[in-house]
Structure 1
Amino acid sequence: MISTLKGNIALLDFDLIVDPTNQQVLPMQGVSAQIFHQAGSEMMKACQELNGLEVGKAKMTKAFNLPCKAVIHTCGPRYMDGTHNE
C-alpha cells in the first residue's frame, strides 16, 4: 500500500528519513535545511565525519534531536543540460 503525507519530514516519527543533500553533506535549502535545523548541531559534526558523499551513494547518521531513528544522506546527480551523463 502506498500513502502520502504532507508536512515537515524532519518531524516524522519514522525509522528512517532521507536527506537529499550535496556531495559535501552540508545543509542546503528546503528539506535538507529543515533536517539539519531540527537535528541540531550534532548532525553537522556527524556529517563532517562522513568525509563527503559520491553522487548516487548514501551514508547514514544518527538522528540526534529528530524523532526518527536515523537519517540517510544521499546525493543525486545535478542536471546541467543533458549532455553530461545526468
Structure 2
Amino acid sequence: MAVADVAPGVSPDGRAIIFRLSDRRRDIVCAITREALEEYFWLPAGADEVRMLKTFADGRQRILAVAERKMRVRPDQPVRLTIDDFLTKR
C-alpha cells in the first residue's frame, strides 16, 4: 500500500492533514487531526500550514502504518486518525 500521487494537504479549516492511501483496487481518503500531530508528532500549537505538512512528512511512516491498519479494519470508510489511534494499548 502506498500514498497516492496526490500530495498531502491541509484541510480548509486547518484542523487536519488530508492524504490518500491506495492499493491495487482503490484510493481511500485519509486524514490525521491537528490534535494528533500536536500530541504525538510534536507539532507546535498554532503552527502554520507549512509546519503542519513538515510534521506530517517527518511522521509519515508511523502515520501511514496506523492508517493502513485502520483501513483494513474498515475498508469501505474514509480513515480519520485521531489521538485515540496512537494510544499505546497494553
Is the pair's TM-score, using the shorter chain for normalization, greater than 0.5? no
Q: Which has the larger radius of gyration?
A: 1
Q: Flag the structure with higher helix content.
A: 2
Q: Which has the higher contact order (CA 8 A, sep 6+)?
A: 1
Q: Flag the structure with higher strand content.
A: 2
